[in-house]
Amino acid sequence: MDLARRMFMGQLARFAAGASLVPLATVAEAAINEQPPRRGGDPAKRYAMLIDLRRCIGCQACTVSCHLENDAPLGKFRTIVSQYEVDDPETGDMSTFFLPRLCNHCDNPPCVPVCPVQATYQQEDGIVVVDAERCVGCAYCVQACPYDARFINDKTQTADKCTFCTHRLEAGLLPACVESCVGGARIIGDLNDPESTISKMVAEHHGELKVLQPEKGTSPHVFYLGMDERFIDRPEAFASIWDIHGKDNKELHYEFSGH
């Protein structure tokens, strides 16, 4: 409480002093909206995930097993595999690219400082979680996440997101998506343990690893191996399965929807 009070007084002082002198952007972004202290979890660990895209076959087993494990409402997902058809302009060949998406458990998670009731917080082991008992469902965190990793759960009317299956990790199990991955593309582990598989892979492939939207300064902790640079930011792509109804309102297969 003391820390909170001290921070608040500091903010107030800066707010009052800065109102006329400091540009509003500085007040809005620096003074307020900073990361609060982490709490809970094992301080000795830093969980992270490495996704070896060379092994992903886009089967969506992770999507389904996560959905079952975490009881997400229909149509909303804690993890999903984006599937792309990529046209090679030189040869005219089509190839496919699969990109599993989930919460990046960022080191600077933009969803945490916005929460007005501290319902969403980062554990000391880096995992970002939501206390559904405290969450007021304001959806500010849903807006703040640049990765669409959060949603409002229709059943609980609170914010929902990937937790790296922290309940399974605590029981010594792997997250549902990792356990169900057919190709073994998802590797989860402790970055603080140099002997962990993920630490070894990070050391081995350091130069090749990519994260999503690095320019946002969120410092994501889901690393991709074998990443196509075009997909780091929002790709310039056409959505196809949205167009499932033609002009006569009959269902179309995506292959016939005009491209």
Partner 1 sequence: MNSAVIEILAPRYQIAWYPWAVQYFFMIALAYASLWLALPGLLGAARWKATARFAMLGAMTTAIVAPIALLADLHQPLRFWHFYAYFTPWSWMSIGSLMLPPFVFAIIALAWLVWREPMLAWRDRSDLFGMIARLVTLGSWQTPRFLVVTLALATAALSLGIAVYTGSEVAIVKGRPLWNTVWLLPFFATTGLIGAGGLVLLLSRIAGPRDPDTARNMLWVVSAAAVATAGVALMWVLEGLYVENSSVAAALRSVRHSAEWRTTSAWGLGVGTALTLGCLLLLWRKPQRGWSWIVGLVALHLAWMARWVVLMDVQTVQKQTAGYLEYTVGWGSSGWLGVVGTFGLWIALILVIDMLVPWRGALGGTAGDAPDTTPDYSAKGAASHG
Contacts (CB under 8 A) with partner 1, residues 187-216: 212-213, 215-216
Residue corresponding to tokens 């599937």: 83
- Asked whether 224 and 53 are in contact (CB, 8 A), the reply is yes
Q: How far apart, in Å, do the first and last CA atoms of the chain sit?
A: 59
* Structure token pair of residue 141: 């965190």
| 135 contributes a contact to partner 1 by CB under 8 A | yes
For residue 94, give the amino acid letter.
M
25 SS3 class: helix
Give, as ranges, the residues between 137 and 176 that touch partner 1 (CB under 8 A).
137-140, 142-148, 151-152, 157-158
Under rule CB under 8 A, residue 18 binds partner 1: no
Q: Which of residues 220-259 bind partner 1 (CB under 8 A)?
A: 230, 233-242, 254, 259
Residue 84 touches partner 1, criterion: CB under 8 A: yes
Stretch that binds partner 1, among 48-56, 109-117, 166-174, 189-197 (CB under 8 A): 109-117
Cβ at position 217, least distance to partner 1 in Å:
8
Q: What CA–CA distance (Å, rounded) separates 20 from 102? A: 42
11 binds partner 1 (CB under 8 A): yes
Calpha distance 165→69 (Å, rounded): 9
Determine if 89 is a binding residue for partner 1 (CB under 8 A).
yes
